[in-house]
Structure 1
Amino acid sequence: MVSRKSAAKAADPPAGVKAKKKVKTLSRENLSLAWSTIRGRKGGFAAVLIAVAVGSAVITACGALLETGLSSGVPAERYHKAAVVVGGYQAMPVDGDSDPRLSERVRLPADTVAKVAAVKGVESAVADTSVRMTVLKKDSVLDGPPVYGHGWSASVLAPFTLRSGSQPQAADDVVLDSDLAKRAGVGAGDTVTLVAGSKPESYHVSGVAEPGVSFDRQSAVFFTDDRAARLYDLPGKIDAVGVLAADGTDAGDLADRIKKAAPGVETYTGDDRSDVETLDIGQSRSFVIEVASAFGATMIMLVVIVVSGTLALQVQQRRRELALLRAVGATPRQVLRMIGGEAVLVGGIGAVLGAVPGILLALLLHSVFTSAGVLPAGFSLEITPLPVLFAVLVCVLAARIGGWLAARRAAKVSAVEALGDVAVESKKLGWVRLTLGLLLVPGGLAVAVVLPIVLPGESAIEGAASSALLLVIAVGLLGPKLFGGIAALLGRRPGGVTRFLAIANSRARARRLSAATTPLIMGVTMASAQLFGATTLAATAQDQLVDGVIADHVVTSDSAGISPGVVDELRKVPGVRTVGPVARTSTILTWPDGDSVQYRITSAQGVDPAAVSDTMKLDVLRGDLSGLTGDTVALSRIVSGTVGADVGGTVEVHLGDGTVEKAKVVAVYENGLGFGDITLPNDVVIAHTTDHLDQWVMVNADPKADLSAALKPYPTLSVRDAAAVTVAPTDAGASGVSLMLNAVLLGYLAIAVVNTLVMATVSRRGEFALLRLVGTRTSQVRSMMRQEAGIIALCAIVVGTIAALPSLIGMSYAIRHSVFPSIPPLMYLGIVVAAVAIAWPAVMVPARLALRPPAVEAISRPE
């Protein structure tokens, strides 16, 4: 027989199972307690919910844009029928990093066509070349999408079907696509004037062709294959190979076989085929990926900071409740678990609620990107569950971390201290927080002031820019001390009763008010650093350009550019002293950095060394531009410092089409922001651009020199003054997108500010009621709150501006050797007005609502 004791032992579960059941029970109890607390304190947790939900929406939008850049594209037009398009790799391979895009077309050897045609599954391989064209209508340039000329054999790739007339037979025959013919007002049998480069020629329209798919981004003109090759003027080269596949052949498998048969080529299928048609699509894809990644990372950091701050304020408002829990026996671990459970629940709910608005925000940003021209029309937004899941995960983690940070002090205090701590807000900061904050202040100042003096190039600019973030973190850590100190300073000035109460409250509640004010300080700092950093760069570039163009005249083009032959024609004009062609492109510099290789995308110009000193003032610091011939280069001061190359040294330059040159540095100049960070010989740049055209031609001539007469054969060219020259293109070219993203970022900070200030003000119902019960009039309480709102706004503006100034001064010194950044007064006034407009109603509206109930009723309400 089995005894009762043995049976009981047999019935008992093992110790491990007991422990697991106990943990599960505790988890359920913690979550149940957390949910009960949330239901009882809806107002306080609503603020946390809003902060998480808005953060989740922005992160979801960034994730959707990132996935769009990685996965989406534009449907192919000219290569619509091609199963695979073979082209060059339009990027520079970089180990361990994203490959930067090349600005000019990477061309293929002409024998690639035969290699591709021999691959199994290829029905036919068609070579394609593109020549940028301009259509003249009554001696003016026809508006519309860019026009490209091709050989007639490539018409099968769309495919194009003749609607009228016949295919081109003679050298002066052309076939226009139907939309272009309609806009030009011509048909089969008519004459049309086309410009390749700068030279206009009349062609006979032998036919009009209808594409097999809608053409929205480009227009097509077809020549005979021989005529197209002469216009292309690159023997042995082609742009791409369009592959028509045999029936039943999978495009992906065919692409893999082609890459094996023709090493060094890149194959494109699906929407990626459009990347070969026009280079702007691939560049747009790269830009979206870069912007979404950088902005998303910034937003994740802000969400963690804002949610942590909001939770910290919410926990501070519950000191009485937490003190009572500690007094009745709750352990620190239980308090931590309870607050952690609350944070996870609220964070999870807020993150999920923010997902749908996040998709709507992604649609809005996608529309802005398209309107700004950053994304081409038809580049569809890719929406999958991945960005939503990522945003939920990040926001829940942010809430959990914020809850843990906020609960640490409440959990560590003993039960007796907790009850005594309720009456008065502690003014003492933890030694870790205080020490870290005190170290970050000199650290941020040193980064802003020392780095621009010690470090060369972009390191100085980036270091100075990062100081604003360090000082903002320091402000967040030292906020109670700073807020209390400013309140004490303001208290020295005599005032009335309401002023005395406002100052006393600000000093007594410095910790709580600083937690509510920190997001506003952060907003002022970031807005100032972003906006005035950009204005300083723009003003410096414009000043360099205005002072640097010393030519009498500038010849510009209404088409794709200026043919190099025009320069020779202008030099023959009587009275012309100097003719300096200028070509523009983008290059990539690479240089060793320890075991890795660094790269930098730079704007570049190609100039004639014999004319550059008479037409533009680059402000040469070292070296001589007259030696700019062959494989040589001149660098701006900033780039020279960045890559560590000076006069006499060498630098590796990846030209626009990916060609690599080991170039000798012959000069270092100052005016890189205005003219470009790289200056190369004009013939080198022209040879490695897509269209082989100059951007401008700068001319010095006597007043009697008749330039217009010399340019009469070139109807797309005109003579203008120096103001026609524009600043070298940089990443700031997408300024509209940058402003939009900064507006979203600052909008999130504004929501966080309103959120925390409303929460801090509403929690003072009991205080307002007590003041009225002891004889303070309601109007005096309102006046007190107006004074407090003024202190909050003043603190945010003063501290935020001071935190941004070292960064701006350091950037200005690194950019132009001046400690005075460009700060437009009206723009700064806008930041001040925005700070006041956010802070004032966020304090006064809830204060007025809190003062509506009678004092006796308000003081009897639960906290």
Structure 2
Amino acid sequence: MSRKKSGAQAVGPPAAGKAKKKKVRTLSRQNLSLAWSTIRGRKGGFTAVLIAVAIGSAVISACGVLLETGISSGVPAERYHRTAVVVGGYQAMEVEGDADPRLSERVRLPADTVEKVGAVKGVESAVGDISVRTTVLKNDSVLDGPPVYGHGWSASVLAPFTLRSGTPPRAAGDVVLDSVLARRTGAAPGDTVTLVTGSKPGSYRVSGVAEPAVPLERQGAVFFTDDEAARLHGLPGKIDAVGVLAAKGTDAGDLADRIEKAVPGVVTYTGDDRSDAETLDVGQMRSFVIEVASAFGATMILLVVIVVAGTLALSVQQRRRELALLRAVGATPRQVLRMIGGEAVIVGGIGAVLGAVPGILLAMLLHTVFTAAGALPPGFSLVITATPVLCALLICVLAARIGGWLAARRAAKVSAVEALGDVAVEPKKLGWFRLTLGVLLVPAGLAVAIVLPIALPGESAIEGAASSALVLVIAVGLLGPKLFGGVASLLARRRGDVTWFLATANSRARARRLSAATTPLIMGVTMASAQLFSGTTLAATAHDQAVDGVIADHVVTSDSAGISPGLAEELRGVPGVRTVGPVARTSTILTWPDGDSIQYRISTAQGVDPAAVPDTMDLGVLRGDLSGLTGSTVALSRLVAGTVGADVGGQVDVHLGDGTVQKSKVVAVYENGLGFGDVTLPHDVVLAHTTDHLDQWLMVNSDREADLSAALKPYPTLSVRTAGAVTAAPTGDSGDGGISLVLNAVLLGYLAIAVVNTLVMATISRHREFALLRLVGTRTRQVRSMMRQEAGIIVVSAVVVGSIAALPSLIGMSYAIRHSVFPSIPPLMYLGIVIAAAVIAWPAVMLPARLALRPPAVEAVSRPE
């Protein structure tokens, strides 16, 4: 007896557990079956959700493909085609726990690295290579095309280059041209070509023409004797890279590992990564693509969640009758939540899968645009794997699930009786949590936009002001019905005919539905205004600072890589010339401690002669004195000084363009950082740590009788221009303007599709309302007039609310960067935003309305919702 009882107790609970699991599985199947039945019965309503998810999936997939392309792709090596490994310096600054920022200037190696690499097992030969930026003249004009680099003839084996005609260079005045360059110049062995290194032209005899193993698409090659190349390079004991030819049967990856172990402090490149060592722009472009794809992808994920949630919310609102009946016949809140969640997952999954292939096509299109705009070098292949697509699928399904849960909460919580009552009249009250959060976000967004630029120094103020637009957009989404109803109530005060009365009355009564459809349009207006006008404000400020800050009479510019440093001293000897101020430009990385971590900022920098600054440029010095800008000193713009927490007398770590670290004392803080660069260093310091060791401009003050043109006649690549030739310093985080424009167009295009999607969905569902209006005596043309005026209310609401949401961000940013509360807003550009909003919204309302009015009223009123 006791054994049987004990056995019964042991068997009982598992049986009950199995029954419970079986019941849960049965309920899950029932929920999914019900969800699928609902989707099939309401194809029109769920089509809008599917479109929103599919397009979001496509854009996120495209961003993922571009990100993976930037990480793992590259371009085939050209000059280093034959090498198994290329040895160079590490072209980035190491940052623990973060992506290593790219250095703008070449990190060079000691010349004895060639011998050390050559001693490694598996190396057949190691060849040192140097690159000298060279300009080719044809008929006294600069030859167009890709940049041309000069090398020593010994490095020709790295491609390899094969002499097609002539002989190798044997004297200092001999050169060998690559075959493409020879064809473009029309030069043959025995002819003379003019080459400019820096500003100095030189005549060279073409001793031969060489054919590379692979065509040179990104560069041209000129070969001097090794001694002449070293003289032109101007850095004794330094080389740019080492090309390694491997012994037969040696694996490139294994050889690279052995070299890095045997020669500390070097970096090895294999495969397509070898092109990063050939020309610096390949690595810089790769870094740019990774940053852009990451930032844009994160923004799109947030937008997809918001848009999908809004579309699902509108879909649930349109099914209030059905959900009320389900509650009335005994459906529990949990079952309603599961059913809507199942619908969201099914539609989200289908939409995400449908968007995968278009996403790859969009990635191909963006890759083509990036290449055409110069953000990617020719031959930078697109990497397409399943990883970005799978990530996009997961993100979109999660977005749909979260959106479904948010949309279903109220429908699931209300009682059955209350649910049936909600069918007759749209609920006017917002949930207390939604209302409270929305109300709190408004002052939070305003505080971030207005208070931070006043209270905080540096770029924290700008970043805070920029983020306020997103905070206010979220607040608008939460308070949408209240805001839309308020705008409609204000417009209702204007007297009008019966159709105007109907339009305003409908807008107030259906504020919840119409605000859900209008929110994407408001987001579009806000984001377009914030993006475009922040850019115009920055550009206008930089332009004004550069134009107003140049006080020199003339500016000497170059059509080649730059200006030879010795030319400044030569011009000082010209009669009538009072001051010559050379300006060299580079990029620096500032680092400073922040708690237990190290923060960094990439900043555009200039090198100036402090003695010439008072007569040539006005940096708007706020504190300190630029006359002390010598040795290990630095001057910082107001924004950067506030960002790094340094002031006059303090110290900051400056990583120069080639990675050299200099502890610099701050001698001045100035205002005009956007125009001239956020970091100003001594001229000789900058020049010593740039790749080409050339000046950007020479700023000249002179009397009228000074003949600068005659003095520059021996230098065909130089010209004398007015002060307007000085361009504003590029911002460190602006990237490529054309690429930013394209990506913003994609983002706003997604929002435009979401607007059309939701407005069509909201309008087409009103066919019974239109039929009832016609049955009680309203004419069809009056209904159309009513809808035209409703469309106008939607556009006005979106433009007004969207502009108001963007304005605090723009005011705060403008104050932070130039102490003015008036951002630069070109009227025609703003008019374009208004017209775009109207063009998007108007057809999305009127075309579905016309379709809904086509059937006879009696037939339309009997159709299901």
- Which band: TM-score by shorter chain? over 0.9
Q: What residue number does 1:26 align with?
A: 27
List per-residue Cα deviations over 1:157-211 (Å, max 9, x = no partner).
0001111111111111111111111111111122111111111111121111110
Aligned residues: 858
Counterparts of 2:142 and 2:324 in 1: how far apart (Å)? 78
Which amino acid is the alignment partner of residue 491 of structure 1? A
Counterparts of 2:91 and 2:12 in 1: how far apart (Å)? 71
Local SS of the residue matching 1:422? helix
- The Cα of 1:733 is off from its aligned counterpart by 4.9
List per-residue Cα deviations over 1:11-48 (Å, max 9, x = no partner).
99833333333222222221111111001000000000
Q: What residue number does 1:44 align with?
A: 45
Q: What residue number does 2:295 align with?
A: 294
**Matching of residue 837 in structure 1 with residue 834 in structure 2:** no
Q: What residue number does 2:345 align with?
A: 344
Q: What residue number does 2:636 align with?
A: 635
Q: What residue number does 1:588 align with?
A: 589
Which amino acid is the alignment partner of residue 553 of structure 1? H
Which amino acid is the alignment partner of residue 313 of structure 1? L
Local SS of the residue matching 2:429? coil
Which amino acid is the alignment partner of residue 209 of structure 2? V
- The Cα of 1:707 is off from its aligned counterpart by 0.9
Which amino acid is the alignment partner of residue 146 of structure 1? P
Counterparts of 1:102 and 1:644 in 2: how far apart (Å)? 23
Q: What residue number does 1:260 align with?
A: 261
- The Cα of 1:613 is off from its aligned counterpart by 1.1
Which amino acid is the alignment partner of residue 211 of structure 1? P
Q: What residue number does 1:157 align with?
A: 158
Work out which of the residue numbers 836, 848, 851 in structure 2 matches 1:849.
851
Q: Which moved more, 1:164-173 or 1:384-393?
A: 164-173
Q: What residue number does 2:797 align with?
A: 795
- The Cα of 1:278 is off from its aligned counterpart by 0.5
Local SS of the residue matching 2:180? helix
Which amino acid is the alignment partner of residue 110 of structure 1? A
List per-residue Cα deviations over 1:380-423 (Å, max 9, x = no partner).
11111111111110000000000001001001111111111111
Q: What residue number does 1:271 align with?
A: 272
Question: Cα gap change, 1:135/1:773 in structure 2, threshold over 3 Å: closer, same or farther?
Answer: same
Taking the TM superposition and a 5 Å limit, the aligned residue runs for 1:461-610 are 461-610=462-611
Q: What residue number does 2:768 align with?
A: 766
Q: What residue number does 1:129 align with?
A: 130
Taking the TM superposition and a 5 Å limit, the aligned residue runs for 1:98-247 are 98-247=99-248
Counterparts of 1:419 and 1:140 in 2: how far apart (Å)? 82
| 5+ residue gaps, structure 2 | none
List per-residue Cα deviations over 1:76-123 (Å, max 9, x = no partner).
000000000000000011111111100000001111111111111111
Counterparts of 1:639 and 1:528 in 2: how far apart (Å)? 26
Question: Cα gap change, 1:766/1:182 in structure 2, threshold over 3 Å: closer, same or farther?
Answer: same
Asked if the contact 2:763–2:849 (Cα under 8 Å) also holds between the matched residues in 1, the reply is yes
Q: What residue number does 2:324 align with?
A: 323
Local SS of the residue matching 1:132? strand
- The Cα of 1:225 is off from its aligned counterpart by 1.1
Which amino acid is the alignment partner of residue 19 of structure 1? K
Which amino acid is the alignment partner of residue 786 of structure 1? R
Local SS of the residue matching 2:663? strand
Which amino acid is the alignment partner of residue 550 of structure 1? I
TM-score, reference length from structure 2: 0.98
Q: What residue number does 2:65 align with?
A: 64
4+ residue runs over 6 A deviation = 9-13
Q: What residue number does 1:408 align with?
A: 409
**Matching of residue 756 in structure 1 with residue 787 in structure 2:** no
List per-residue Cα deviations over 1:518-559 (Å, max 9, x = no partner).
110010000000000000000001011111111111111111
Local SS of the residue matching 1:14? helix
List per-residue Cα deviations over 1:271-325 (Å, max 9, x = no partner).
0000010000000000000000000000000000000000000000000000000
Which amino acid is the alignment partner of residue 122 of structure 2? G
Counterparts of 1:781 and 1:191 in 2: how far apart (Å)? 82
Counterparts of 1:124 and 1:22 in 2: how far apart (Å)? 74
Work out which of the residue numbers 815, 818, 830 in structure 1 matches 2:817.
815
Q: What residue number does 1:778 align with?
A: 780
Local SS of the residue matching 1:73? coil
Asked if the contact 2:709–2:720 (Cα under 8 Å) also holds between the matched residues in 1, the reply is yes
Local SS of the residue matching 1:200? strand
Which amino acid is the alignment partner of residue 857 of structure 1? E
Q: What residue number does 2:438 align with?
A: 437
- The CA RMSD over aligned residues, in Å, is 1.4
List per-residue Cα deviations over 1:607-647 (Å, max 9, x = no partner).
11110110011111111111111111111111111111111
**Matching of residue 449 in structure 1 with residue 450 in structure 2:** yes
List per-residue Cα deviations over 1:38-79 (Å, max 9, x = no partner).
010000000000000000010001001000100111100000
Q: What residue number does 1:699 align with?
A: 700
Counterparts of 1:11 and 1:804 in 2: how far apart (Å)? 65
Counterparts of 1:362 and 1:584 in 2: how far apart (Å)? 34
Asked if the contact 2:103–2:659 (Cα under 8 Å) also holds between the matched residues in 1, the reply is yes
Local SS of the residue matching 2:204? strand
Question: Cα gap change, 1:591/1:11 in structure 2, threshold over 3 Å: closer, same or farther?
Answer: closer
Q: What residue number does 2:380 align with?
A: 379
List per-residue Cα deviations over 1:725-760 (Å, max 9, x = no partner).
111122335111101111100100010011001100
Local SS of the residue matching 1:434? helix
List per-residue Cα deviations over 1:809-855 (Å, max 9, x = no partner).
00000010000000000000000001111111111110010000000
Counterparts of 1:346 and 1:99 in 2: how far apart (Å)? 40
Asked if the contact 2:756–2:844 (Cα under 8 Å) also holds between the matched residues in 1, the reply is yes
- The Cα of 1:475 is off from its aligned counterpart by 0.6
Local SS of the residue matching 1:100? coil
Counterparts of 2:840 and 2:169 in 1: how far apart (Å)? 67
List per-residue Cα deviations over 1:341-372 (Å, max 9, x = no partner).
00000000000001111111111111111111
Counterparts of 2:215 and 2:444 in 1: how far apart (Å)? 58
Q: What residue number does 1:356 align with?
A: 357
Counterparts of 1:499 and 1:174 in 2: how far apart (Å)? 82
**Matching of residue 617 in structure 1 with residue 614 in structure 2:** no
Question: Cα gap change, 1:468/1:10 in structure 2, threshold over 3 Å: closer, same or farther?
Answer: closer
Counterparts of 1:12 and 1:490 in 2: how far apart (Å)? 67
Counterparts of 1:816 and 1:383 in 2: how far apart (Å)? 44
Local SS of the residue matching 1:692? coil
List per-residue Cα deviations over 1:416-462 (Å, max 9, x = no partner).
11111111110111111011001000010111110000000100111
Which amino acid is the alignment partner of residue 417 of structure 2? V
Which amino acid is the alignment partner of residue 551 of structure 1? A
**Matching of residue 644 in structure 1 with residue 645 in structure 2:** yes
Which amino acid is the alignment partner of residue 141 of structure 2? S
Local SS of the residue matching 2:802? helix
Asked if the contact 2:288–2:735 (Cα under 8 Å) also holds between the matched residues in 1, the reply is no
Counterparts of 1:175 and 1:650 in 2: how far apart (Å)? 49
Which amino acid is the alignment partner of residue 266 of structure 2? V
**Matching of residue 283 in structure 1 with residue 291 in structure 2:** no
Q: What residue number does 2:860 align with?
A: 858
Counterparts of 1:778 and 1:12 in 2: how far apart (Å)? 68
Which amino acid is the alignment partner of residue 716 of structure 2? P
Counterparts of 1:657 and 1:196 in 2: how far apart (Å)? 21
Counterparts of 1:285 and 1:608 in 2: how far apart (Å)? 34
Which amino acid is the alignment partner of residue 788 of structure 2? R
Q: Which moved more, 1:813-822 or 1:481-490?
A: 481-490
Counterparts of 2:19 and 2:82 in 1: how far apart (Å)? 67
Counterparts of 1:490 and 1:714 in 2: how far apart (Å)? 69
Which amino acid is the alignment partner of residue 366 of structure 1? H
Counterparts of 2:193 and 2:496 in 1: how far apart (Å)? 83
Q: Which moved more, 1:488-497 or 1:330-339?
A: 488-497
